[in-house]
């Protein structure tokens, strides 16, 4: 298994990116290709006390870096020798099995679509992070920002792709699919969500999906579904809200346990449980978000990823590549399309 790592992507690159890639190379025995400015990568290795590259790590030189100010739609053309673009080309050319980048989300999504290509028949690729819901081992959200404006067909395809991802990645035979909405009733929501509900219900009736209906935001963290479908705008708002509340509660909890001797004693007694809770909500454990709908696995790591987060993202890239989810989507694409009405059908 060979994984490309964009060594220059992210706020802490290249030092933390290189460190995380080395951790992954040693722990998972995967071959790693560090793509970026060779001199800076070597300098990072020196800072880490690495005299020589491990035998399963190599450097692919790329002279340019994608910045957050770059236009995502044109960056692959304007910066063909950027670490992100070079990495995507290596993936497209079959010289790697998956790629990890903590760089610009928009640029990575655009680059993956233009260079690695979408699966034929998929209208839009989507971002699919896993929420830490204890009751079902995590709920996959699709989409959370890649597509702010969607059609009912997009949401139908998100549901199928998410379902196949959970089935292949986690081994869940019949993942429960829910549609994010403002109420449980079929009549709730905008025209987009009403039409998407009808398509998802039809797929459920045909046995293609295990659709459970609308899901309200307050029930998401209870793990009522394995896959939560939404447009990118609503999904992103929900995800950021959950992240914000998690940070708030952890901060308040930390303050409570520092107030007195007794609270500090309680913290010591509960240390194991608190560490498990911290690990559960930590983005470092997940590492990154898969881009579903691309022909080969591309994992978007958080922009502020540290070394451990990069290591976790590489782990996810390996598991995604091994899962064969892209092949599963390709084989079932006919069920994920909305047929255009025949001419004259609307006037019949």
- pLDDT, tens digit, for every residue of 181-222? 999 998 999 999 999 999 999 999 999 999 999 999 999 999
Check residue 252 and give its pLDDT.
Answer: 86
pTM of the model: 0.88
Of 66, 157, 132, 155, the closest CA to residue 105 belongs to 66
Of 113, 100, 102, the closest CA to residue 72 belongs to 113
What SS3 string covers 246-257? HHHHHHHHHHHC
8-state DSSP, 261:
H
Query: Checking DSSP bridges between strand 227-229 and strand 176-180, what pairing results, if any?
Result: parallel
Phi then psi dihedrals of residue 298, to 5 deg: -125, 125
The structure tokens listed for 324 are 């064969």
Cα separation, 122 vs 114, in Å, equals 13
Cα separation, 88 vs 24, in Å, equals 20
Q: How much of the chain exceeds pLDDT 90, in percent? A: 70
Helix, strand, coil share (%) of the chain residues, nearest 5: 50, 15, 35
Check residue 247 and give its pLDDT.
Answer: 80
DSSP H or E stretch at residue 170: helix 152-170
8-state DSSP, 189:
S
Tens-digit pLDDT profile for residues 214-249: 999 999 999 999 999 999 999 999 988 988 888 888
Tens-digit pLDDT profile for residues 9-58: 999 999 999 999 999 999 999 999 999 999 999 999 999 999 888 899 99
Q: What is the DSSP string of 317-343?
A: HHHHHHHTHHHHHHHTGGGG-PPPPPT
Of 317, 308, 304, 313, the closest CA to residue 20 belongs to 308
Check residue 277 and give its pLDDT.
Answer: 67
Omega of the bond leading into 143 within 30 degrees of 0 (cis): yes
Check residue 281 and give its pLDDT.
Answer: 60
Query: Checking DSSP bridges between strand 126-128 and strand 288-292, what pairing results, if any?
Result: antiparallel
Q: Quick check: 73 pLDDT over 60?
A: yes
Q: Quick check: 104 pLDDT over 60?
A: yes
Tens-digit pLDDT profile for residues 267-299: 888 878 777 766 666 566 667 899 999 999 999
Q: Quick check: do 1-122+293-348 and 127-284 share a fold?
A: yes
Q: Quick check: 348 pLDDT over 60?
A: no
Q: With contact defined as beta carbons under 8 Å apart, do 211 and 202 qualify?
A: no
Check residue 265 and give its pLDDT.
Answer: 86
Was domain 127-284 assigned CATH 3.40.50.10330? no
Domain chopping of the chain, boundaries: 1-122+293-348, 127-284
Check residue 347 and give its pLDDT.
Answer: 47
Look at 121-130, 134-143, 169-178, 287-296 and tell me which has the smallest mean pLDDT: 134-143
Quick one: CATH architecture of 1-122+293-348?
3-Layer(aba) Sandwich (3.40)
Most confident of 116-125, 164-173, 256-265: 116-125
Phi then psi dihedrals of residue 204, to 5 deg: -70, -45
Check residue 288 and give its pLDDT.
Answer: 86
């Amino acid at each position: 298994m060979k994984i490309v790592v964009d060594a220059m992507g992210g706020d802490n690159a290249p030092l933390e990116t290189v460190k995380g890639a080395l951790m992954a190379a040693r722990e998972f025995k995967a071959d790693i290709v560090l793509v970026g400015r060779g001199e800076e990568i070597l300098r990072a290795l020196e800072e880490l006390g690495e005299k020589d590259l491990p035998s399963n790590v190599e450097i692919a030189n790329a002279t340019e870096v994608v910045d957050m100010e770059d236009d995502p739609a044109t960056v692959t053309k304007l910066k063909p020798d950027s670490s992100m673009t070079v990495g995507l080309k290596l993936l497209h050319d079959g010289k790697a099995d998956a790629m990890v980048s903590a760089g610009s989300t928009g640029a990575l999504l655009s680059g993956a679509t233009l260079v690695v290509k979408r699966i034929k028949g998929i209208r839009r690729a989507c971002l699919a992070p896993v929420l830490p819901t204890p009751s079902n081992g995590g709920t996959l959200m699709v989409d959370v920002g890649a597509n702010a404006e969607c059609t009912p067909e997009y949401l139908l395809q998100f549901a199928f792709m998410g379902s196949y991802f959970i089935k292949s990645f986690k081994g869940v035979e019949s993942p429960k699919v829910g549609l994010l909405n403002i109420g449980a009733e079929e009549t709730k929501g905008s025209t987009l969500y009403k039409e998407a509900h009808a398509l998802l219900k039809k797929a459920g009736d045909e046995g293609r999906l295990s659709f459970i209906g609308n899901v309200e935001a307050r029930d998401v963290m209870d793990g009522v579904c394995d896959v939560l479908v939404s447009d990118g705008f609503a999904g992103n708002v929900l995800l950021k809200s959950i992240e914000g509340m998690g940070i708030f509660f952890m901060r308040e909890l930390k303050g409570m346990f520092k107030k007195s001797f007794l609270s500090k004693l309680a913290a010591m007694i509960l240390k194991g449980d608190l560490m498990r809770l911290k690990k559960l909500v930590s983005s470092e454990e997940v590492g990154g978000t898969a881009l579903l709908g691309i022909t080969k696995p591309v994992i978007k790591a958080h922009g502020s990823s540290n070394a451990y987060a990069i290591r976790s993202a590489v782990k996810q890239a390996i598991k995604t590549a091994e899962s064969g989810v892209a092949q599963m989507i390709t084989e079932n694409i006919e069920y994920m399309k909305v047929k255009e009405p025949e001419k004259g059908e609307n006037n019949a």
